[in-house]
């Protein structure tokens, strides 16, 4: 098996996606790099300062990664139990994190030992953040309290006890050092003002709140919990603007693009969805291999990092063509370079047409592994046309029909919502639908015919059995008469 080389499986296209600018933008990432962590990745946070490193919180450790490194460049492991919510300060020099034992630790990025420790919570601290003035830390814990800490003196300044259940998420205003927001499992989201010692706005999300996000301007607040994402207008006292329900399972994390015009959400349904912040419609979607717990975008959306429940960290880097322009102009290759290998026919696509058995075998194996839908999704118009041509050409062959009908039904389910965006593909799509329906009707009629034949055979067998018994009985009677005579 040492010399075994896996078969290169060509994935199939998504109809119409290349038409939108969002699809072009969000599809322009390289193949993801996967990094295995020690436990579920509960938080990913990017530094706002170059070189834009990011902190990954998993199990009892915090790893600092460079944007293009696959190994941590620094590790903080001074935690007795599980660590939570490692967050960079705005200047990228300090890092704060909560823990399962109720403690909060402040680290200097250039060191390893905790710079400060804040003790006051009696249960796990799941959310921490720096205020806008950089000198205070706000925290929320499972003891139902929200606390404000002073960094220079390592002292607790304020305690808010307005929540009636676990406080699992929160964020501080980027403009006002006295304002911060927390979300709780009591289904409420509250905005606190340190100057009044109480909440100034409280909204009812309707589900246990898993994540909150305050827009940089401070005018809009996004809350996520259950299958719902809700957007609130804070300038109107917390008026609900829109309620979104596009995920099939609990939404666990939220993130804004660098421009602030796109909202990203991750969920336990293994999907990351991208919304327009003007229409709040889904403009793109990513699929992952496991349930998603955390999500973060780098500066200028150059890198997207997703943390999952199985401990896998998925890192996608944006494809960059600017480097080609910065390279010095080289001498153009000779003419023989361009014509080299032009007669090598084995690389041409026509070979795949002559051997449909290989393609069908690959489709069957992908279906057995449960990833056929993923392989058929996310492709452009040219590739989907090739897939439809292959299915139309080979669907009627009895040896391929069971496998290709299943693949055709999956394609129909994926692309039916976006039909009408390409006349060429639409024509082939409708033709494929007709062939599938015709093939299914043919198989249904065949099964009905086989059933009728089975009934006829069973009836004939039941009629022949009594006649055979009578014939055997008469033979026995004649033999007895002969013996007596």
Q: How far apart are CA 247 and CA 184, in angstroms?
A: 20
Task: Specify the pLDDT at position 341.
Answer: 59
Q: Which CATH class is domain 21-317?
A: mainly beta
CA distance 427 to 302: 38
Q: Which pair of tokens denotes residue 123?
A: 């249960």
> What is the H or E stretch that residue 194 is in?
none
What is the structure's pLDDT at 346? 43
Spell out where 146-235 has E strands: 146-150, 155-160, 167-172, 179-184, 188-193, 198-204, 211-214, 220-225, 228-233
How far is it, in rounded angstroms, from Cα 202 to Cα 160?
13
Rounded Cα–Cα distance for residues 163 and 183 (Å): 9
Listed by start position, the domains of the chain span 21-317, 356-439
pLDDT computed for residue 330 by the predictor: 60
Q: What is the pLDDT along the chain (485 residues), one digit of tens a residue?
A: 455 556 555 444 444 444 688 888 998 999 999 999 989 999 999 999 999 999 999 999 999 999 888 899 999 998 999 999 999 999 999 999 999 999 999 999 998 899 999 999 999 999 999 999 999 999 999 999 999 999 999 999 999 999 999 999 999 999 999 999 999 999 999 999 999 889 999 999 999 999 999 999 899 999 999 999 999 999 999 999 999 999 999 999 999 999 999 999 999 999 999 999 999 999 999 999 999 999 999 999 999 999 999 999 999 999 876 444 444 556 666 656 656 655 554 443 433 456 788 888 888 888 888 888 888 888 788 888 888 888 888 887 878 888 888 888 888 888 877 777 788 788 888 888 888 888 877 777 877 888 888 888 888 776 655 555 555 555 554 455 545 54
Alpha carbon distance 384, 302 (integer Å): 28
Q: For position 19, what pLDDT does the model report?
A: 64
Going by C-beta distance under 8 Å and a sequence separation of 6 or more, which residues neighbour residue 467? none
Q: Is the peptide bond before 100 cis (omega within 30 degrees of 0)?
A: no
pLDDT (0 to 100) of residue 342: 58
Rounded Cα distance, 136 and 148, in Å: 7
> Is residue 203 a contact partner of residue 196, using CB atoms and an 8 Å limit?
no
Tell me the C-alpha distance between 97 and 377, whole Å: 39
CA-CA distance, 293 to 168, in Å (whole number)?
13
Element (H, E) at 452: helix 423-484
Distances in whole angstroms, Cα of residue 450 to Cα of each of 181, 329, 444, 453? 68, 72, 10, 5
Q: Given this model, what pLDDT does residue 41 score?
A: 96
- 62, 78 contact by CB (below 8 A): no
């Amino acid at each position: 098996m040492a010399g075994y080389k896996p078969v290169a499986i060509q994935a199939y296209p998504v109809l119409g996606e290349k038409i939108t600018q969002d699809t072009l933008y969000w599809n322009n990432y390289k193949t993801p790099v996967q990094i295995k962590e020690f436990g579920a990745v509960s938080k990913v946070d990017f530094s706002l300062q170059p070189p834009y490193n990011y902190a990954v919180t998993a199990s009892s450790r915090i790893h600092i990664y460079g944007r293009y490194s696959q190994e941590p460049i620094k590790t903080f492991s001074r935690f007795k139990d599980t660590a939570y919510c490692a967050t960079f300060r705005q200047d990228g020099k300090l890092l704060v994190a909560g823990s399962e034992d109720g403690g909060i630790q402040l680290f200097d990025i250039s060191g390893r030992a905790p710079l400060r420790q804040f003790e006051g919570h009696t249960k796990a601290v799941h959310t921490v953040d720096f205020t806008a003035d950089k000198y205070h830390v706000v925290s929320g814990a499972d003891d139902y309290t929200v606390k404000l800490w002073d960094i220079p003196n390592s002292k607790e300044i304020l305690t808010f006890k307005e929540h009636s259940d676990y406080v699992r998420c929160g964020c501080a205003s980027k403009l006002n050092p006295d304002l911060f927001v927390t979300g709780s499992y009591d289904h409420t989201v509250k905005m606190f003002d340190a100057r009044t010692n109480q909440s100034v706005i409280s909204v009812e999300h309707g589900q246990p709140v898993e994540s909150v996000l305050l827009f940089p301007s401070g005018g809009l607040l996004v809350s996520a919990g259950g299958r719902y994402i809700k957007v609130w207008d804070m300038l109107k006292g917390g008026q609900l603007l829109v309620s979104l329900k596009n995920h099939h399972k609990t939404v666990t994390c939220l993130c804004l693009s660098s421009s602030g015009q796109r909202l990203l959400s991750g969920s336990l349904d293994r999907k990351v969805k991208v919304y327009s912040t003007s229409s709040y419609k889904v403009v793109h979607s990513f699929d992952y291999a496991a349930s998603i717990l955390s999500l973060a975008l780098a500066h200028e959306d150059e890198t997207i990092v997703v943390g999952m429940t199985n401990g896998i960290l998925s890192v996608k880097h944006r494809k960059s063509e600017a480097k080609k322009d910065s390279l010095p102009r080289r001498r153009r290759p000779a003419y023989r370079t361009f014509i080299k290998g032009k007669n090598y026919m084995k690389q041409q696509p026509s070979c795949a047409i002559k051997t449909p058995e290989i393609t069908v075998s690959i489709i069957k194996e992908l279906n057995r592994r449960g990833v056929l839908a993923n392989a058929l999704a996310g492709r452009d118009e040219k590739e989907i046309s090739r897939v439809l041509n292959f299915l139309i050409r080979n669907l009627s062959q009895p040896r391929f029909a069971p496998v290709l009908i299943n693949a055709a039904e999956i394609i129909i389910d994926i692309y039916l919502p976006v039909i009408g965006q390409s006349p060429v593909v639409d024509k082939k799509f409708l033709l494929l639908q007709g062939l599938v329906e015709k093939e299914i009707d043919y198989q249904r009629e065949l099964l009905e015919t086989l059933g009728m034949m089975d009934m006829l055979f069973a009836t004939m067998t039941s009629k022949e059995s009594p006649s055979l018994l009578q014939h055997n009985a008469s033979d026995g009677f004649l033999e007895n008469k002969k013996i007596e005579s």
